[in-house]
Chain A
Amino acid sequence: MTVTTRTSPPARGKRSPLASAGLHTTLLAASVIAVFPVLWVVLTSLKPAKHAITTDFVKEPTFDNYRYLVEETSFFTWFGNSVLVAGITTVLGVFIAATTGYAVSRFKFPGMKPLMWTLLITQMFPMAILIVPLYNLMGQMGLLNQPLGLIITYLTIAVPFCAWMMKGFFDTIPVEIDESGRVDGLNPFGTFWRLILPLAKPGLAVTGFYSFITAWGEVAYASAFMVGDENLTLAGGLQTFVTQYTANWGPMTAASVLIAIPAALFFLFAQRHLVAGMTAGATKG
């Protein structure tokens, strides 16, 4: 069940013009619904603040909102915080997860079944049960408002999922490669490090990407653990534009665009493998 580029089944008979029109109408409507909110945010970010709530598609286009964002707010501090937290989470998470994914994929050892189940079950942990103990723990260790606290916390989300996805990727690498490594006198670590890991680069990229996006978009922990303008990550910072009392839509939409563009570009490259990894890992268990 991989989502790869494959030629679709040959057209079965010809569609009637009516069916064809119906198909295009439905897809067009769905596409408009999918794209419109995003498009609207982009358009609004280019309007001067006083026109932010008008319905015109384009009105006196300007970069004022972006200028305001850069000059008057801590946007780049938040951006930097997010990059730092998400980046380190990704590197640590993927590295830890890769060895486990490999061990679970290739060896049969006592404790494997329980480990697999634990990995699966921890994915369903609501943050609601971990957030209070982690908050208290971080408070005691003085890690509240520190990027490190958030990184440690995000590992709880990233590691189980990454290990599970890496197992799926390693499963697709033929075992003959491991065997050839063994014949050539490599021990399992050497086989893993020199032969399998280079082959699993796409898998590593996708898991890395997944953990980055998860950390990038996380809201609950970030809202609870980080306070003070200079400590916020993007998810917290964006909330400061639109509170119960004020609605600063212009800069908010500009910030949204700047946050979304890099994520969306990466995403569109990686998404095919993302789904393949998730579903393969879960069903081949």
Chain B
Amino acid sequence: MAAHTSQSVAKAAGDVENTDDARGRSRWTDSRATGRSGGGLGRALATHWYAWAMVAPVVLVLGVIIGWPLVRGVYLSLTDANERNVGRTIGANHIEATYQFVGLDNYADVLTDPVFLQRLVWTVTWTVLCVSITFTLGLVLANMLNREFRGRAAYRMALILPWAVPGFVSVFAWRFLFNRDNGILNKLLDGGGISAIPWLDDPTWAKVAVISVNVWLGVPFMMVALLGGLQSIPGELYEAAEMDGASAWQRFRHITVPGLRSVSMTVILLSTIWTFNMFPVIFLLTRGGPGDATEILVTQAFKEAFISSPRDFAGSATWGVLILALLMIFALVYRRSLRKQGEVW
């Protein structure tokens, strides 16, 4: 099928890339562009209008449905907008918005509220634990799958399954397994003589539960990405090292680790952002509960706007802006630390 033809093309393409000249190769308009640089706007338009025309749709999308709401979100966070005073249309009647600009009041409220610190601490704990456990398990499994043995393909298929099933379906499946009175996990424990664990009803166990589910969901991506990285390390390196008497640990330390650096940096960054913003797992598994024990920043923002009553749009926007600010800071720090290590990124 399509998958088969695509494999061979991607393989050929992959080989081109692996020789690592893809980056060095000049793009075909480079010479033209540099040759004509320094002209006026008209000349720039003449040279670049193809490119600009091709990116126009995306710029439009970014501007209209991401840029504008973003600006609007920041603005809302500076007002006292809620369910009752935003403009809306009910049937044929249009009600004008009556909310007012309140400056930084919302930020002062949120930041001085101990709830913010609680959420932040738990969100960071959740992100760090999830990403580190997922990465470690993914690395171990990828290293195992990178050897040759019977049944490798079957294992690979089985291990990828959690990624293949839509996330919200898996989360419901886990909710079913975690069920306190009737869930299979507690039944199994019971069979082993251990009393039932209140998986989703006890603050600590609920935290364990959400982290486990997120790790379960995240490992396949890590594993496949790292396996790809491992397979792009030339086997000759290992042979040469073995010839020189390097131990298994030394080969891992000095060949595998540096060889995986660039793919690791990417997957860790992606995974951190995804986990930080992981809405479905928390929302569908525990609804942030019991109480508010597993509420992370993103679910908190959602709760403010869509679950609490009256709906507090301004408050939610404030949480949103704070989340974005935190992620931006993280990305900048991450990028800077990569630069220090000599990665071009």
Contact = CB atoms under 8 A, between A and B. Distances in A.
Interface of A: 1-6, 8-13, 15, 20, 23-24, 26-28, 30-31, 33-35, 37-38, 40-41, 44, 53, 55, 96-97, 99-100, 102-112, 115, 118-119, 121-137, 139-140, 142, 152-153, 155-156, 159-160, 163, 169, 171-175, 178-179, 182, 187-189, 192, 199, 201-202, 205-206, 213, 216-217, 219-220, 223-224, 234-235, 238-239, 242, 247, 249, 252-253, 256, 259-260, 263-264, 267-273, 275-276, 278-280, 282-285
B185 to A, nearest CB: 10
Contacts of B44: 110
A260 B137 CA distance: 25
A122 B59 CA distance: 12
A15 B52 CA distance: 57
B29 A106 contact: yes
Given A8-B147, A132-B316, A202-B2, 6 more contacts: A8-B235, A53-B183, A126-B324, A136-B313, A202-B10, A278-B266
B161 A35 contact: yes
Interface string B172-191: 11111101001110011000
Contacts of A128: 277, 297-298, 301-302, 316, 319-320, 323
29 contacts: A2-B17, A8-B235, A10-B148, A10-B239, A13-B242, A26-B140, A34-B161, A40-B184, A99-B57, A100-B54, A100-B58, A106-B28, A107-B54, A123-B273, A124-B273, A131-B305, A137-B72, A140-B87, A171-B22, A178-B28, A188-B54, A202-B9, A219-B283, A238-B168, A252-B176, A260-B164, A264-B161, A267-B163, A280-B17
B232 interface: yes
A115 B147 CA distance: 41
Interface stretch (B105-113, B203-211, B219-227): B219-227
10 nearest A-B pairs in the assembled complex, by CB-CB distance: A2-B14, A9-B235, A129-B320, A202-B6, A3-B228, A172-B13, A53-B182, A128-B301, A133-B69, A31-B158
A239 B174 CA distance: 14
Interface of B: 1-3, 5-7, 9-11, 13-14, 16-18, 22-23, 25-30, 33, 44, 47-48, 50-52, 54-55, 57-59, 61-62, 65-66, 68-70, 72-73, 76, 86-89, 137, 140-141, 144-149, 151, 155, 157-170, 172-177, 179, 182-184, 187-188, 216, 219-221, 224-225, 227-229, 231-233, 235, 238-239, 242, 262-263, 265-267, 269-270, 273, 276-277, 279-280, 283-284, 297-298, 301-302, 305-306, 313, 316-317, 319-321, 323-324, 327-328, 331, 345
Nearest to A249: B176
B262 A1 contact: yes
B177 A40 contact: yes
A239 B169 CA distance: 10
The secondary-structure label for the interface of chain A is helix
Contacts of B227: 3
The secondary-structure label for the interface of chain B is helix
Nearest to B221: A275
B320 A41 contact: no
Contact of A260 (B6, B165, B228, B239): B165
A122 B14 contact: no
Nearest to A105: B27
Nearest to B219: A34
B66 A130 contact: yes
A107 B27 contact: yes
A94 to B, nearest CB: 12
Which of B6, B9, B61, B319 has the most chain A CB within a 10 Å cutoff? B61
A179 B172 CA distance: 52
Contact of A124 (B27, B166, B331): B331
B7 A4 contact: yes
Given A1-B263, A129-B324, A279-B225, A96 B61 contact: yes
A3 B263 CA distance: 11
A133 B166 contact: no
Nearest to A272: B7
A220 B307 CA distance: 12
Contacts of B242: 12-13
A126 B298 contact: yes
A140 B6 CA distance: 44
Contacts of A238: 168-169, 172
Contacts of B238: 9, 12
A253 B172 CA distance: 9
A13 B57 CA distance: 55
Contacts of A172: 10, 13-14, 16-17, 22
Contacts of B51: 103, 107, 109, 112
Contacts of B163: 267, 271
A27 B50 CA distance: 52
Contacts of A10: 148, 235, 239
Contact of A270 (B3, B140, B297): B3
A132 B73 contact: yes
Contacts of A107: 27, 29, 33, 48, 50-51, 54
A266 to B, nearest CB: 9
